[in-house]
Structure 1
Amino acid sequence: MKKTITIVAGALLALSACTTEDAQKSTVTEAAAPAATPSNLTARSTGSKVMMQAFYWDCPGGGTWWNTISGKVPSWASAGIDAIWLPPATKGSSGGYSMGYDPFDYFDFGSYNQMGNTETRFGSLAEIQSLITTAHNNDLSVIADIVINHCSGGASQSNPFTGGSTYTNFTPASGLFARSYYDFHPNDVHASDVGTFGGYPDLCHDKTYVQDWLYNNTNSIAKYYKNTMGFDGWRFDMVKGFEPWVVKNFKNAVGGFAVGEYWDGNAATLETWANSAESSAFDFACYYAMRDALQGNDLTKLNNDMLLKRNAYRAVTFVANHDTDEIYNNKILAYAYILTHEGYPCIFYRDYEEWLDKNKLNNLIWIHNNKASGSTTYLYADNDEYVAKRNGSPGLVVYINNSDSWQQRWVETNWASTVIKDYTGNSTWEPTTQSGKWVQIQAPPHGYTIWSVK
Structure 2
Amino acid sequence: MKTFIKHTIKSTLFLGACMAGFLSCSDDDDSSNNQEEIIVQEDLRLDLTAFTKADAGVMMQAFYWDVEPIGGWYDEVSSKIEDWSASGVNRIWLPAPGKGASGQFSMGYDPMDYFDVGEFSQRGAENKETRFGSRQELENLIQKSHDNGIEVIADIVLGHNSGGGLQSNPFRGGTEVYSLFNEENGNASGKFNRTNEHFHPNDIHSNDEQALFFAETDLCHDQQYVQDWLWGRDDSVAEFYKNTLGFDGWRFDYVKSFAPKWVKAWNDKVGGFSVGENFDGNQQVLKDWVDASGSPAFDFACFYRLEESLDRNKDLTALGEEGNMLRKIYPDKAVTFTANHDTEKDENVNNSISYSNKLLAYSYMLTHDGYPTIFYLDYENESFKDAIKNLILINRTIATGDIEIIEANKDEYIMKRNGNGDNPGLILYMNISNNTKQYEIQTNWSNKTLVDYANNSKLTPVTNAEGNTTIYAPAGSFSIWSIGKEQ
Q: Which amino acid aligns with 1:185?
A: H
The Cα of 1:311 is off from its aligned counterpart by 0.7
Instruction: State the 1:355 CA deviation.
Output: 6.6
Measured against aligned partners, the alpha-carbon deviations of 1:19-62 in whole angstroms (never above 9, x if no partner) come to: xxxxxxxxxxxxxxxxxxxxxxxxxx997411111101111142
Q: Which residue of 2 aligns with 1:344?
A: 371
Indicate the percent of aligned positions where both proteins have the same amino acid: 49
Q: When the two structures are superposed, what TM-score results if normalisation uses the length of structure 2?
A: 0.82
Equivalent residue, structure 1, for 2:135: 125
Which amino acid letter does the alignment assign opposite residue 329 of structure 2? R
1:178-208, CA deviations, whole angstroms, 9 ceiling, x for partnerless residues?
1111110000223534222245500001111
1:287 maps to which residue? Answer: 303
2:207 is aligned with 1:186 = no
Of 148-157 and 299-308, more deviation after overlay is shown by: 299-308
2:329 corresponds to: 310
- Counterpart of 2:395 in 1: which secondary structure? helix
In structure 2, list runs of 5 or more residues that go unmatched.
Answer: 1-52, 345-351
Match of 1:406 in 2: 436
Identify the match of residue 178 of structure 2 among 155, 164, 167.
167
Contact 1:47 1:344 (C-alpha < 8 Å) held by counterparts:
no
Aligned residue number for residue 99 of structure 1: 107
1:442 equivalent to 2:468? Answer: no
1:147-296 to structure 2, matched below 5 A, reads 147-164=157-174, 165-171=176-182, 172-190=187-205, 191-295=207-311, 296=313
Q: Which amino acid aligns with 1:212?
A: D
Shift of 1:337: 0.5
For 1:70, the aligned partner's letter is S
Contact 1:282 1:317 (C-alpha < 8 Å) held by counterparts: yes
**Partner letter of residue 154 of structure 1?**
G
CA distance in 2, matches of 1:348, 1:410: 35
Is 1:140 the counterpart of 2:165 in the alignment?
Answer: no
Provide the residue aligned with 1:60 in structure 2. 68
Once the two structures are overlaid, the 10-residue window that deviates more, 47-56 or 336-345, is 47-56
**Which whole-Å CA distance do the structure 1 matches of 2:111 and 2:214 have between them?**
13
Q: How many residues align?
A: 410
Out of 419-428 and 431-440, give the one that drifted further: 431-440
Matches within 5 A, 1:104-115: 104-115=112-123
Distance in structure 1 (CA, Å) of the matches to 2:439 and 2:147: 45
**SS at 2:80's partner residue?**
helix
SS in structure 2 at match of 1:203: coil
Say if 2:199 and 2:216, in contact at 8 Å, map to a contact too.
no
Q: Deviations over 1:63-94 (max 9, x none)?
A: 01000000001101111111110011110011
Moved more, 230-239 or 375-384: 375-384
Bigger CA radius of gyration: 2
Q: Tell me the CA shift for residue 446 of structure 1.
A: 1.1
Contact preservation (8 Å) 2:320, 2:413: no
Contact 1:88 1:144 in 2 (8 A): yes
Which amino acid is 1:405 matched to? N
RMSD: 1.6
Return the alpha-carbon distance in structure 2 between the equivalents of residues 46 and 219 of structure 1. 35
Structure 1 counterpart of 2:454, from 404, 424, 445: 424
Decide whether the 8 Å contact of 1:421 with 1:429 is kept in 2. Answer: yes
d(CA) in 1 for partners of 2:78, 2:436: 42
Q: Is the 8 A contact 1:352 1:358 kept in 2?
A: yes
1:452 and 2:482 are equivalent in the alignment: yes
Letter paired with 1:110: G
Unaligned runs of 5+ in 1: 1-44
Is the 2:122–2:128 contact (alpha carbons within 8 Å) kept by the matching residues of 1? yes
One-letter amino acid matched to 1:186:
P
Q: 261-270 vs 56-65, which deviates more?
A: 56-65
Task: Determine the structure 1 residue equivalent to 2:404.
Answer: 377
Quote how far apart the aligned CAs of 1:426 are: 1.5
Give the match for residue 358 of structure 2: 331
